[in-house]
Structure 1
Amino acid sequence: MAHRLILFGFLLCTRGTLSMKTLNHVTVRTGGNVTIPCLYDDQYKLNQKYWCEGHLWTLCQIKAHTNKTAKWQVTDYPAKNIFTVQLNNLSASDSGYHWCAVEIGTHANPDDKESLYLTVKTDPDVSVVSSSVTGLEGGNISVQCFYSFGYKTAHKRWCRFKDKICYKEGRTNTSQNSSVQISDDGRESFTVLMTGLTESDSGWYWCSVGDLEVPVQLFVQWDTEKYRTSDNAGSAFPTCENDQTARHDTEDRNGILLLLWIAGPLLLLLMVVLLTWRIKRKHNGALVTQAPDATSMTEGPLCYDTVVFKKGKDHDQDQISTRRPADQDYEVIYSAVKLH
């Protein structure tokens, strides 16, 4: 009966560890820094992640939570189902068991977790020149891993974290047309050469010597110079300059549309005012033509319709004529006046 209780307790404490993945035994130099990757199941994207320290899970102490400021920093990347723990300024007292964990918090389904052992010492048995390397797509990267004399005959490997595929010494071709070559110089270091890099090669790896590991993060970036050359030759890949030109063209086009949107109503209003003014002016001119005043009638040449000449009192007989004699003084009577 006691054996059954012990087995039940063990299963209860270890339930969920198959989901979480991390490294096994990491070595770090005293006063140094290291970033630990922790891979979790897709169903835990929204759960709280944390870092716990202690030999036993039931007695471990939480040292950092996701997005909470503390001595160590936990950062979650839900799109990749991974969170990282940044450990800074490590000391020998930090050596021991640590846990990557996802908060679930029910008796039937306890928190998902996975442990690793951290060794902090002045002269670590395994180390790397840089824990972060960057390469160009289609290019190569080189990582140098160091080991102590006691691990000279141990197996050297380069492992990928997301699927835990490990490459041994020698040359290995991958399915992405890239290759991994591991060469041991026999002088306490070995070199990992990755050629023909692709974007899918980005991620976490580790140098492994025996049972010791050191994590390394690889970033694969686009070769912008290569795509610029290809674009000039008619390739479909755009360059940064073309992107900027297209963006500027779009901004100019938007500016013109905005100007038209503002100026359009103003131009329409101006046209209506001008049209109204012209109609009103034409109407006033018609009124003046139909009813001229006395002043306007006196302007311009006068034409007489009928002119009658009448003799003066000194003559014996009154005589009316439409012609004017040259030698006599006549009084002029106007019959009608027409204005042209």
Structure 2
Amino acid sequence: MQQLLLLTLSLLPWMPAFHCEVTLHGEYSALEGQSLTIPCHYQPKYASNVKYWCHGKTREFCTSLARTDGPRSINPAVEKVSIFDDPIQLLSTVTMNNLKQGDSGWYMCGVEIGSMWKADDVAHTYIKVIHGWSNVKNPVSGMEGSSVTVECLYSERLRHLNFLSFISCHSLRTRFLFRHKQIYKRDSEKTWCRSGDPRSCRSTGSEGSYEDSSVAIRDDRIGAFTVTFKKLQTGDTAWYWCSAGQEKTPVQILVTPQPTATATSRSTPPMTKVPEPHVDSKDSIDTRNNHDHLLAIMVVCLCVIILGVVAMVARKLWSYYRKDSVLREVAKMKAKYNGYSVDVDDLQSVAVVFLNKNSEEVHS
């Protein structure tokens, strides 16, 4: 089992997932009709290799779109796809213009190795092309009385498309037939509405703009629809819609009430200086380090003292035990010598009488 684990670990550096020779962001999204620039980084050893960009997830089924060894781009802003390699920065840059929904999918940035024994080093990314609206920022917040601008971006098809729905109902017993027709116009009107209030809708009209005392609306006709609140009020806090025909996107406006003079005087004392964040100086850091060292030394000394006390107590106990054992052995030897078989503990209650020669003569 251990040999199998070592073999697996030794093979990890040779697996593609652990190479990271080519790096690329995992996912991109863009509105239809917009352009997208994608950086692709590689290792220094690939500075002179050919780089390529293709549509697909596997090398065998990847449609080549641009290569660094192909014809040099005269005008990258006009071409559908172009690639530029910078060996100094170790970076190849891919530019995709005039994106369509059909361009959504997996793409591959690769470095051509040119060897039959080693596959190309590649990185993958997924590009999602959106038809409709996109918010630059949501929610949008501002202080009461200030000005704030909302920007909604829209895709290419909404530049020249206006939907007018006609519903005709024909009654035949309990059946209804609904017919919807779409009418295309050169310039699509953009509308700004407060959610739940159809009477609040303001349209750009044929001129591409609208303005009154509270808001200014402008459509640049190339993908940006902006709404500017000239002077925010607390009642402007709500959800709104950027719309063109049947396509729309929600935007939330948050208005912060302006603090009154009374509230300000109560909450903030006059001439109060906000303390700056404390930053430790070098001296304080050195002092703290010295304290830490002293504390560590004290802890070590305390541990040594405790160990010494424990050792002394243990030695005393051992000496007492040895002394008691010697006394017991001496007592046993005395008892054996005098012809007694009594236990040593019983000797405490035994009286010993010594007789000399004179006493024997008297008794006899």
Shorter-normalised TM range: 0.3 to 0.5
Structure number with higher strand proportion? 1
- Give the TM-score normalised by the residue count of structure 2: 0.31
- Give the TM-score normalised by the residue count of structure 1: 0.33
Larger Rg: 1
